[in-house]
Structure 1
Amino acid sequence: MSTDQDLHTDGLPTDGLLTHPYAVYERLRDTAPVHRITGPDGSPAWLVTRYDDVREALANPRLSLDKRHALPGGYKGFALPPALDANLLNMDPPDHTRVRRLVGRAFTTRRVEQLRAPIRQTADRLLDALGAHGGTDLIAAYAAPLPITVICDLLGVPDGHRRDFRAWTDVLVAPDPARPQAAKEAIVAMLGFFTQLIADKRKEPADDLLSDLIAVRDESGSTGNDRAGSGGSGSDRAGSDRAGNDRLTEDELMSLAFLILFAGYENTVQLIGTAVLALLQHPDQLAALRADPTRLPAAVEEFVRYDGPALLAIRRFPREDVAIGDVTVPAGETVLLSLAAANRDPRRFPDADRFDLGRDAGGHLALGHGIHYCLGAPLARLETEIALAALLERLPDLGLDGDPDDLRWRPSLRARGLLALPVTY
């Protein structure tokens, strides 16, 4: 869990980090672009805020995602059991290269484009359920069910389990401080869910991504007993067993399914929500987009630059002492790269705090950079484009219901998303 008080800096104010993060990041970017902080769990980390520094660090191979390179006592992020933790967010090459190659075939621009019609059908069905006029929470009624439907269809999750998965994900993204055990319970439930899902797919394969990944693993001759078990990644995990083969360990298979579902849902629901909010708060931009919907694909780039779903990239650990800006970060310490601060850096984007759909937002870092660039970026872009196109066409009088200052945001240092978006139509 993260709240306004969870990020502590050396004397710089961070009030309002949850509701107004960009003002806080502006102070940090201008005063101390590479700053020593205390993370949500009380452990130290380095926060990087300027565009050039963040972009370079994202692609720096000396900054590892593998937690085995972390010093004891440093901030490592959210802890998962080994069967869910052996995913791309904890991997360096060559494991990262191997696993990404296996799943990357499902997220090419060409294959994702084939999902356009089914996504639009889902969007229309959700809007049909709203009725002709009234009010609703657009997150609960539209922005959340759309991506969970799309990603579950892609992976092959049965309809009956989708509500449970959405609830588990919401608990992990924004834990309830009144229920400290809820996150652990959600993880246990997810582990059981994926274990059973993979077993079911092995018995009865279907035309879906998870069945394809299981086939790649099982047809390579594995017995299913070569579990990673280390909780992180590393080239020594079952390396001799899979040498020369495109294959997955059992933990990697389950972790990959978890990551695709979790990230495919969480990031897209947050992006759709903040994109709609930005348009409703900027009626001139909304009117321009209504007048020329062909601008939507380019507009998505400004949506993710202006208020993207990830405030921070996944934490990194220097393999050796690394210079970032004017600071040398010692080996093994935790580095947090602020995508939000970088995308509002006026050195890269003039008048960066202005929402402008006519801007060339190319080069933004909202979806990462380098070999860890977001695997699902084509799908997130397409879902956001279609979700907004359907809203513009079918809800011409869409408006915000209430004061924007009363909106509630996820209590997260990492994720930027609305808990609810009340609208009238």
Structure 2
Amino acid sequence: MVPEISLTDPEVLTDPFTAYGRARGESPLARVSAPGFGPVWAVTRHEDARAMLADRRFELSPDSYQRPDVPEHCRPYLRTMSEMEGDEHARLRRLVSPAFSARRALDFRPRIEPLVARLIDELSAEADLLRDFARPLPMDVICELVGIPHPDRPRWREYGAAVASGHGQAFAASIPGIMAGARAAIARRRESPGDDILSDLLAVDGVTEAELVTLVWHLVLAGQTPANLIANAVAALLDHPGQLAALRADPGLMPHAVDELIRWCGPTLLTIPRYAREDVELHGVRIPRGDAIVAAVAAVNRDPRSFPAPDVLDVTKPASGHLGFGHGPHFCLGASLARVQTEVALNALLRRPLAPVTVERAPDPGTWRLSALVVKL
């Protein structure tokens, strides 16, 4: 029997890890639905989810990027690598991956540290870390890495906030500005290369200007993940003072801690839907051609078959193998940058005394995220 999960169920909204974990105990597959969404198949166990995400019998929707509310001349740039498959995806991924390697991310660390320090220095004695720190930081980092001039960066923070909303007039209005800013940044780096991602990619034969503009858009879109991850991580550590004390006592634990926090409270609850190219049988269940399927990350990252004591947060243990950044050909291109950015942010924040005042969680069935994280510093 395949368990049914409603995304409007209060338990799913308030404690998805328990709700999806219960489904995982019953079956490797579940059916997930909500008004206007689904039903879709969901893989609930870790190894099965890894297999599905790398299975070429399932493909991403080629039209998921379509946004009728966005000006027509901007729409071609919305089609990122997340909407590409096969040879097209492999070609572009091969060309751009060196600019996003783990070593390159470490090279950028000294550029990220002053951005973090500046934001912390601007915090008041009682501050909303989500609004005043975690949300602006990713856009500041993106601006640094693609060469956006300092006078333009406040506007890019506004773009980031609009994109994070996911819809509405502000979202649509931000897109032309992002595309125009990306083209201007590319022109500057053609004339005067620097130490940044655009300069790296302009030196690669075969990447077109349109692909570079799209890549900047992709960075803005994906840049919201570190914002939610940093806020979730701080809230989790404040709720687990022993883990917080361990990190303060030994900052060298931070690389392990970031992956453990992604596993334990990462923002991704469900992956982007994939669609069966043909009838597929999984665990004795027929998935008809065209049906949507997701990996239930909230379940697979706490699967006891792959992680010992999975419901316990332990920053001292390695958490390799989590699916917080996906798996397979579409593994998150910016994972190394997100890790480094989160490490720098947490290291700097944990050097300050923090006391929680208000921790509010947004009722979002697709993303585990906060709506407010007010602390005293």
Equivalences for residues 17-96 of structure 1 within 5 A:
17-39=12-34, 41-67=36-62, 79=67, 82-96=75-89
Measured in 1, the distance between the counterparts of 2:155 and 2:35 equals 27
Change in CA separation of 1:98 and 1:11 when aligned onto 2, cut-off 3 Å: closer
The counterpart of 1:125, out of the listed 108, 118, 122, is 118
Q: Note the C-alpha offset of 1:333.
A: 1.4
Residue 9 of structure 2 is matched in structure 1 by: 14
Name the CA shift for 1:412/1:159 in 2 (closer, same or farther; >3 Å): farther
Superposed, which structure 2 residues align to 1:86-125 within 5 Å? 86-125=79-118
TM-score (norm 2): 0.87
Q: For 1:103-252, what aligned pairs fall within 5 Å after superposition?
A: 103-130=96-123, 134-174=125-165, 181-182=168-169, 185-199=170-184, 201-202=186-187, 204=191, 206-207=193-194, 208-210=196-198, 212-213=200-201, 246-248=206-208, 250=210, 252=211
Q: Is the 8 A contact 2:140 2:157 kept in 1?
A: no
Q: Secondary structure at the match of 2:10?
A: coil
Would you say 1:414 and 2:373 are equivalent positions?
A: no
Aligned residue for 2:41, secondary structure, equals: strand
AA partner of residue 248 (structure 1): T
> Which residue in 1 is equivalent to 2:356?
400
Question: How many residue pairs were aligned?
Answer: 367
Determine which of 204, 220, 228 is the counterpart of 1:261: 220
- Contact 1:53–1:325 (8 Å) recurs in 2: no
Alignment partners' CA distance in 1, 2:92 and 2:328:
16
Q: 1:124 to 1:44 in 2, by over 3 A?
A: same
Q: Distance in 1 between the 2:343 and 2:37 partners? A: 39
Q: CA RMSD in A?
A: 2.7
User: 1:308/1:420 Cα in 2 relative to 1: closer, same or farther (>3 Å)?
Assistant: same
Identity of aligned residues (%): 39
1:100 Cα offset (Å): 1.3
- How far off its partner does 1:386 sit? 1.2
Letter in 2 for 1:370: G
In the TM superposition, residue 201 of structure 1 has moved relative to its aligned partner by 3.1
Structure 1 residue corresponding to 2:290, chosen from 329, 332, 335:
332
- Checking the alignment, whether the CA contact within 8 Å between 1:57 and 1:324 is kept in structure 2 is no
Partner of 1:71: none
- Matched to 2:198, the amino acid is L
C-alpha separation in 2, matches of 1:417 and 1:101 = 32
1:374 to 2:374 alignment:
no
- Measured in 2, the distance between the counterparts of 1:38 and 1:161 equals 42
CA shift in 2, pair 1:368/1:55, >3 Å: same
Q: Write the deviation string for residues 173-219 of structure 1: whole angstroms up to 9, x where unpaired.
A: 445xxxx743xx41343134313531463265542433554665xxx
1:223 aligns with: none
Equivalent in 308, 313, 319 of residue 271 of structure 2 = 313
Cα deviation, residue 32, structure 1: 4.3
In structure 2, C-alpha distance between the alignment counterparts of 1:292 and 1:333, rounded to whole Å: 48
TM-score, L = length of structure 1:
0.78
Equivalent position of 1:284 in the other structure:
242
Residues 79, 41 of structure 1: alpha-carbon distance in 2 compared, 3 angstrom cutoff:
farther
Q: Deviations over 1:141-196 (max 9, x none)?
A: 22222222112110122334444444444444445xxxx743xx413431343135
The match for 2:299 among 335, 338, 341 is 341
Unpaired runs of 5+ residues, structure 1, are 1-7, 69-75, 221-245
CA contact (8 A) 1:340 1:366 kept: no
List per-residue Cα deviations over 1:90-137 (Å, max 9, x = no partner).
111211111112221211122111112221222222222236xx2111
Indicate the structure whose relative CO is greater, using CA pairs within 8 Å and at least 6 residues apart: 1
Structure 2: 5+ residue stretches without partners: none
Tell me the distance in 2 between the aligned counterparts of 1:297 and 1:200. Answer: 32
User: What letter corresponds to residue 133 of structure 2 in structure 1?
Assistant: Y
Partners in 2 of 1:391 and 1:420 — Cα distance? Answer: 17
CA change 1:167–1:341 in 2 (3 A) is: farther
Q: Which amino acid is the alignment partner of residue 197 of structure 2?
A: L
